[in-house]
Structure 1
């Protein structure tokens, strides 16, 4: 008997010794993945993972290629030798189409996408890595669903459903990026977000004011950065990535490194990126008026207009940028999570290219010798505490406290003027959010919370004599020391009326306070301060209905608002040649009323068609219009007699459009993806005059033919933008003939254009991958609508990535 027991015991030891157990985990959550197929090249050896993601791979030889395949995850391959080095753990990443199933943006908690009546576009990290974008503005543009305007190379101002700038809301890891000086003109703050660190981007189309408050009129862009990853073993683990990117159109050189340090209860993620962009080269085939024929240099204490030896090179447009991210995560148990994120971004000085190509009054030279932004800086500290588990009033609670610091400056000097005018703006922004989730009231999922935001603006103006270096005080752009704050509460509900019918509704009330004191040193203001207290009630109601399993219909009605900020009430700046904008303390919020309808049809998982239509009505619109200052329609500003304008509640707008999308899967390797967006809009002033909406983008579309296998992926695609004729240009755009082509009558217009492009990515090994892209193959010379800088000509992009 003892011999039998000894034999069985010895046999178990031998079996355990010869067995090799591995575990397959979700790369984001660290949870085990069940039903992962594990097999060799000819599938003569197969096994499958259990509920914990574990499987025995002892049947495979040491250097035999082993494949791991799951319907929801990207296929992965490796060898047992490599598995040993990685602690016998494999991390799989979700397929892009699976990432679309859950969204965070609508309630700040995870929700099933099928239950959401709003249109949401999701861009995952794998898609971003494949497109290999220069900036986060290019991340949005590459989706084919968002139009992006660029005044200069260091730019990127998204347009969504006829709205832009301070009527769209930016959010990073749940914290709003919009601050008290976000302007109605084009803004570049999205480039502060490092595309290498983005885990997922969600774009909400249409008002999102119930959850996000002021500014979320046209849409919300949420950027979620990568989280630190725990070890799930008894030992400390280290992993990371390095990347390099080169682009020929502007001699771009980008380097990136990140690494993750993980333990069972804590983890750290560190990321650093450096971008060096040279002057951008435009294409060869297009309007001659886009060429950069001459530019200004400083020589022997004189401004000299010199001939550009290469008119296709946009001099000066280059700049450089650094991005740093440090995140810590502590998880003492399954119920509590503590997250700390430190974000920093800084650019060098970079030219505002559209101002540098403005002709002077006589038309024989350039108006400006210098016009550049000083370093654009952004810092954020974001601390978040999340508790899961059953509470008396909630099943989940999340506290988010964040501090942000913004700095930017504008520096301009006219041709042959020895005085450089500089304005410097700094904003300190504090925000606190408390969000609750409750799913346990029958079929009702309830979300509610509160938010407080405080902004303080610092603004100074200076004039520098560039010959004597004498520095004197000048008028600031904004009232120094002004504050903007808001307190709000919201509630949102998701009700499962039937298994195939979901209702989503919500309400929010926001109270806003604006306080600014005006300095009369340079202007005799007819007021001393602006003290605005206003409130707004916004709501939404919508439904998601599946009359058939393969057919979805959505209908949504919502309201949005934008409260006047410091930029609206207190800005002083030259908006265009010969005009100056002055403060106006008598402003009220603008309101948007929106309805949209969507349809999605799935044909046997082979073809998916998507369509949406929307209509938005904006009242009490905050727009820049002619004004009087102390009874005068013209005043002297920076030595020039200028027409007086101000931001006013002086218009209403109608914006409407259609959005179409198609996904077709020919077989396992070949697919087709296409998008088409048509937007139109009218701004109508209180006096009855109307014009085209400035931020209604031209018709734009893309079409992709994609081929991929386990190691290689290629995308041949076409981008298209439609024409905007002179009569359909906004009045403010008709006056910018120096950035547009001329029609047969000599009037400015935005021509149509197209580009043919090819992207490819090769997974050389599990650790090493490379990408080669060829953009604008036919070398078109084009300028996207309302943009100052001309787009790149033929552009070769090479990327190399290594993970360890």
Structure 2
């Protein structure tokens, strides 16, 4: 009996030792201040041949590492730390991280497509992480950019948002989602709203490069690059299945927004899945009580017994026919088969209801409202993105990423003149296929290279017809674009990072891009003097810059070139760009080239003050600008029943943009701080006679000031947003002709007035799972309209948001 008990004791002891060896190497990563678990921490060894990510509970098994192997822990919001496994086990399997307060130490991906420390980047980058996204509670991705305080956003309707960066916008800015360019062959020079297709609830972080990015991203990346990185599925890293997720509801009083969101993550040891659903319903937007009478909505068109009539608006503050709804679906799957291979599939779908173009619905002709209808059909976007990553550590690369994506864009325009029975419809669809192969290689501690190849193919489908709304009879009409047109891009790039010492980094790059365009023109409706367009054109772009870090300073400088090749919108569009004008095709276009310079200084004064300053300048040569044109000698043609001035996109100008960006932060103690941002952009377009006129997409001076108090679970922010005025003399000629968008000065001329709002926002974390945000924006109920926008901004607006994490 004693012998049997002794055997049992030995078995129990051996089992205990074995279990400790097997399960005792699961570690916990925590915040050193509040002891909270930290998920999504990257954990890896020196050569990154082994690694993983902490799960939703901040745990990970580190048994794959040797006892004396150094393990690094890195998270976007914390300072990185490194310990040997033995040290971690001796510390009771707990690793503490310290919150990162210095903006310079953040990790960014945008500049090279691989992780780099922000302090090594010679360009200015705006970073918005997931925690800030939850706090700002944006209705759309466009609002997310605007609320950063560093990017100006124009809106023609509630379902819109067109960013402006350093004097450029629309097709001179590049949108990217998870490394895939969203710009397609019909991105136009006018304001676009494709950014609203991106669901802000699925965004993990956003990085905006202010300035050119053509070396890595090719055509269109002249004024900036907006990179949206969506949430990735989280693995369990243990035998236990990880189930986590979020549920969110939001309400806004100004447009009676009703939003619901739900996502769930299921993580196994090698597989992980993330499913996300978001739905928003927006009613008509209410403008503010106090401001310019020109912005009021005194009357609108409605249909009574099948006839258009103009009726008085019982509440002129209500911007009738601005509401719409939107649905976003996301499905992601991730497979980590071993320490070398990783596979990631992302499926994204977004669709809106019909949504009116408000700026056209308030347009008058002969002192009467011009349109009975003007609305966009559902804007639909689908993307399937399959990405393969491999870790190497061989002669040619340390890491390689192969990205293949398919996108489908659908949009339509529907317009009908007042009391006309004919509804003109144009429908566009674009199929976009892209492949990119990106490499990262470190040759030694001082030299790292990034290089790759890219191919993009777009095919445009375009149709036009007239529909009699009384009889439903449909007849053929001119399409907006040449149907079946194609746009292709092939490119190769290389970038070098040289770091001779910890305080100095030199980064340079070179890219060659070749563009092919083919379009066949239908002369049934317009007597074009050509039947096809064939373009084959190439461009070299390059950049070089440095980041220098003397004591508590960062000094950066960067010079570079960028380009934009003409696309199908430039070459083949037929559209009424403004009242009384129509754009016609022009197949004889060449790329426009940009030459940019940037200089920045950031200084940390003691432990409390931080200031930064950036100066920028860009020359755009052979700029593709809308100018007067003639079609077979005719300077006017009939378009939709109206004699219209003929215009076309042409390589007709030089454009100059320049300006300054300032930032300031002061910390009074650990809980209280003040931040401020100010952007001063300028720009002009050179005319044929040598004179210059103001540039259309240069925003007014804008900025913000925030007074912030926060502790472990509570954050309170009182802030102002402001814009300067743009006088009639400083309005671009194309804007002067749109008086219905603007206020009227004492001389009867349109201008954009200055404005200032006061706002308050608070966030309260009830516990680790429940988060409540409440905001009161535009407290004084100002009535204002941001520059070039067709819709007035929200009046006093109460926003409530509830988030539950499990």
Scaled by the length of structure 2, the TM-score of the pair is 0.90
Aligned to 1:667, which of 649, 666, 669?
669
The CA distance in 2 between the partners of 1:725 and 1:155, in whole Å, is 25
The yes-or-no answer on 1:515 pairing with 2:518 is: yes
Give the structure 1 partner of residue 413 of structure 2. Answer: 410
Q: How does 1:151-170 map to 2 (within 5 A)?
A: 151-170=156-175
Task: For 2:607 and 2:468, locate their aligned partners in 1 and report how far apart those are by CA, in whole Å.
Answer: 68
Query: 2: CA distance between counterparts of 1:196 and 1:587?
Result: 40
> Is residue 2:187 matched to residue 1:182?
yes
Which residue of the partner structure matches residue 366 of structure 1? Answer: 369
Q: Secondary structure at the match of 2:142?
A: helix
Alignment partners' CA distance in 1, 2:735 and 2:679: 21
Partners in 1 of 2:636 and 2:622 — Cα distance?
Answer: 25
Query: Could you tell me whether the CA contact under 8 Å between 1:154 and 1:319 is conserved in 2?
Result: yes
Cα 1:568/1:94, change in 2 over 3 Å: farther
Distance 1:307 1:50 in 2: 65
- Once the two structures are superposed, the pairs formed by residues 248-267 of structure 1 within 5 Å of their partners are 248-267=253-272
2:687 equivalent to 1:685: yes
- The DSSP-based 3-state class of the residue aligned with 2:483 is coil
Relative to structure 1, the CA distance from residue 738 to residue 72 in structure 2 (aligned partners, 3 Å threshold; closer, same or farther) is closer
Match of 1:62?
Answer: none
Q: Is the 8 A contact 2:25 2:62 kept in 1?
A: no
Please give the alpha-carbon distance, in whole angstroms, between the structure 1 residues aligned to 2:230 and 2:614: 29
Q: Which residue of 1 aligns with 2:491?
A: 488
**Which secondary structure state, in structure 2, belongs to the residue aligned with residue 522 of structure 1?**
coil
Alignment counterpart, residue 475 of structure 1, candidates 473, 478, 485: 478
Tell me which residue corresponds to 1:129: 134
Aligned pairs (5 A) from 1:208-219: 208-219=213-224
SS at match of 1:671: strand
- Matched residue of 2:344: which SS? strand
Task: Report the equivalent of 2:745.
Answer: 743
Displacement after TM superposition at 1:465 (Å): 0.4
Q: Which residue in 1 is equivalent to 2:67?
A: none
Aligned partner of 1:31 in structure 2 is: 43
CA contact (8 A) 1:27 1:92 kept: no
1:574 to 576, 583, 586: 576
**Structure 1 residue 552, shift from structure 2 partner:** 1.1
Deviation at 1:556, TM superposition (A): 0.3
- Aligned counterparts of 2:693 and 2:76: Cα–Cα separation in 1: 51
Change (3 A) 1:675 1:51: farther
Instruction: Confirm whether residue 767 of structure 1 aligns to residue 769 of structure 2.
Output: yes
Deviation at 1:499? 3.0
- Alpha-carbon deviation of 1:687? 3.4
Q: CA-atom RMSD, angstroms? A: 2.7
Aligned equivalents of 1:176, 1:50: Cα separation in 2: 34
SS class of match (2:775): strand
- 1:221-232 aligned at under 5 Å gives the runs 221-232=226-237
Structure-to-structure mapping, 1:590-605, within 5 angstroms: 590-605=592-607
Per the TM alignment, residue 301 of structure 1 is displaced from its structure 2 partner at its CA by: 2.0
Structure 2 Cα separation of the partners of residues 345 and 416 of structure 1: 34
1:130-184, Cα deviation, whole Å (9 max, x unpaired): 0001000011011110000000000000000000000000000000000000000
Report SS of the residue matched to 1:31.
Answer: strand
CA drift of 1:6 comes to 9.6
Equivalent residue runs for 1:294-693 within 5 Å: 294-360=299-365, 362-363=366-367, 365-441=368-444, 443-546=446-549, 548-693=550-695
In 1, are the aligned partners of 2:488 and 2:516 still within 8 Å (CA)? Answer: yes
8 A contact 2:465–2:478 mirrored in 1: yes
**Contact kept in structure 1, 2:357 and 2:375, CA below 8 Å:** yes
Q: Name the CA distance, whole Å, in 2 between partners of 1:51 and 1:550.
A: 38
Question: Residue deviations 1:701-738, cap 9 Å, x none?
Answer: 10111111111111111001001011000000011111
Gapped regions of structure 2 (runs ≥ 5): 30-36, 46-57, 64-74, 80-92
Q: Measure the CA separation in 2 of the matches of 1:610 and 1:241.
A: 36
In structure 1, distance between residues paired with 2:234 and 2:691: 57
State the 4+ residue runs in structure 1 displaced beyond 4 angstroms: 1-17, 19-22, 48-53, 70-74, 88-100
- In structure 2, how many angstroms separate the alpha carbons of the residues matched to 1:400 and 1:10? 51
The corresponding residue for 1:40 is none
Aligned twin of 1:803? 805
User: Which residue matches 1:144?
Assistant: 149
Match for residue 63 of structure 1? none
Q: How many Å separate the matches in 2 of 1:507 and 1:538? A: 6
C-alpha distance in structure 2 between counterparts of 1:714 and 1:32, whole Å: 36
Give the secondary-structure state (helix, strand or coil) at the position aligned to 2:184: coil
What SS does the aligned partner of 2:527 have? coil
Match of 1:205 among 198, 207, 210: 210
What residue number does 2:52 align with? Answer: none
Q: State how far apart, in whole Å, the 2-side matches of 1:489 and 1:22 are.
A: 43
Cα deviations by residue, 1:19-49 (Å, 9 ceiling, x for unpaired): 998622752246399xxxxxxxxxxxxxx99
SS at structure 2 position matched to 1:723: coil
User: What are the superposed Cα offsets for residues 172-202 of structure 1, whole Å, 9 maximum, x if unpaired?
Assistant: 0000000000000000000000000100100
Task: Output the CA distance in 2 between the equivalents of 1:604 and 1:49.
Answer: 36
CA contact (8 A) 1:562 1:589 kept: yes
Are 1:30 and 1:229, in contact at CA under 8 Å, matched by a contact in 2?
no
What CA deviation, in whole Å up to 9, does each residue of 1:403-447 have, x standing for no partner? 000000000000011100000000000000000111124621111
Match of 2:121 among 116, 122, 131: 116
Tell me, in whole angstroms, the C-alpha distance in 2 between the residues paired with 1:351 and 1:94: 45
1:89 CA displacement: 11
Change (3 A) 1:328 1:10: closer
Alignment correspondent of 1:59: none
What's the secondary structure of 1:449's corresponding residue? strand
What is the rounded CA distance, in whole Å, between the counterparts of 2:96 and 2:274 in structure 1?
17
Contact kept? 2:39, 2:59, Cα under 8 Å: no
Classify 1:367/1:100 alpha carbon distance in 2 versus 1 (closer, same or farther; 3 Å).
farther
The answer (yes or no) to whether the contact 2:125–2:207 under 8 Å persists in 1 is: yes
Cα distance in structure 1, aligned partners of 2:8 and 2:455: 70
- 1:123 Cα deviation from its structure 2 partner: 0.3
The residue number in structure 2 matching 1:238 is 243
Closer, same or farther: CA 579–551 of 1 in aligned 2, 3 Å: same
